[in-house]
Structure 1
Amino acid sequence: MKRIVVASHGSMAEGMKNTIELFAGHDNDVDYISAYTKKNDDLNETIDKLFSSFNDDDKVIIFTDLKGGSVNQRLTVKAQNNQNIFIIYGFNLPVVIEAILTKEEITQEYIKNLIQIGKDSLGTIDFSKNESKNDDEDFFN
């Protein structure tokens, strides 16, 4: 079974949860970790509990906010001997939604394609191209 985890420092993961549910619905198998948001939370305990919920045949994609951050480091250490767990750092909303909605098999090749989708979804709007136009219809062309 496909499993998705969104993990961050602070409340970023919970904020993503609200937006993800808006676009992808509430019936997705997604876990969220918002580290360091409650005084007595133990990140290692939270991670241990999460990993104990995984089955041997689960394919797990874990999204973390920062490469080398404590959340990323602890999840990486825990996952390092499991070939069915993939960790992507520096995630964005389009890439997480793609991972949730895909019907593709989760493989290393799929993960590479998923990262490219994340890169392709980052950009800027070039206002100089349409200086003379003020037509909403042309905005997305």
Structure 2
Amino acid sequence: MKRRIIIASHSMLSDGIAKTLQFFQGEQEQFTVITAYVDNKPIDEQIELIFNEISVEDEVVILTDLLAGSVNQKFVPYSSRPHTHLVAGMNLPLAMAFSMEPCHEYMSSDRIQEIVKEAQDQVKYVNLLLTATNEDDEDE
């Protein structure tokens, strides 16, 4: 069993996330990047070709940019494939967590939800955090 990670977005966001992951982790053959619509072509055929090359035993994690976006919607039919997980609203911590997850067994739905929650927790309004930190420092 291998884990394949498809990073797909409108325009170049997915390419930037993949390049940043490679910066931190080195070259990863588990990544497939789709930069949708930069060539004004539909992505349906590209997605079909990718899935035709993936073994049925392989686990697939699909990360997309927008829940209601067309890129995510193109992957919805593939979400019923065994061991396939579709996650929208990607960010770098989410992609990094999936790429670092051990590959010796399939991920459970609970583990996917934990990874998503941890990535959501990385989105912070830093000004507010700094204000709270400064207030704590003044109280001491």
User: What is the TM-score normalised by the length of structure 1?
Assistant: 0.85
Corresponding position of 1:89: 88
Equivalent-residue separation in structure 1 for 2:44 and 2:12 (angstroms): 17
Query: Hey, what's the Cα distance between the residues in 2 that align with 1:132 and 1:65?
Result: 36
Q: Which runs of no fewer than 5 residues in structure 2 stay unpaired? A: none
Q: Is the 8 A contact 1:28 1:100 kept in 2?
A: no
Identity of aligned residues (%): 27
Q: CA deviation at 1:132?
A: 10
Match of 2:39 in 1: 38
116-125 vs 55-64, greater mean Cα deviation? 116-125
For residue 21 of structure 2, what is the aligned residue in structure 1? 20
8 Å CA contact 2:79–2:86 kept in 1: the answer is: no
Question: Structure 1 residue 80: deviation in Å?
Answer: 3.7
Where in structure 2 are the equivalents of 1:51-130 lying within 5 Å? 51-77=51-77, 79-103=78-102, 105=105, 106-125=107-126, 126-128=129-131, 129-130=133-134
The one-letter code sitting in structure 1 at the alignment partner of 2:31 is V
DSSP 3-state at the match of 2:80: coil
- Shift of residue 58, structure 1, vs aligned partner: 0.6
CA contact (8 A) 2:11 2:37 kept: yes
Structure with more of its chain in helix, by fraction? 2
**How many pairs align?**
131
State the Cα RMSD in Å. 1.8
User: Which TM-score applies when normalising by structure 2?
Assistant: 0.85
- Deviates further, 57-66 or 17-26: 17-26
Please tell me whether the aligned partners of residues 56 and 82 of structure 2 are also in contact (alpha carbons under 8 angstroms).
no
Distance 1:8 1:49 in 2: 17
Q: Provide the residue aligned with 1:50 in structure 2.
A: 50
Q: Tell me, which stretches of 5 or more residues in structure 1 are unaligned?
A: 134-141
Higher mean C-alpha deviation, range 97-106 or range 111-120: 97-106
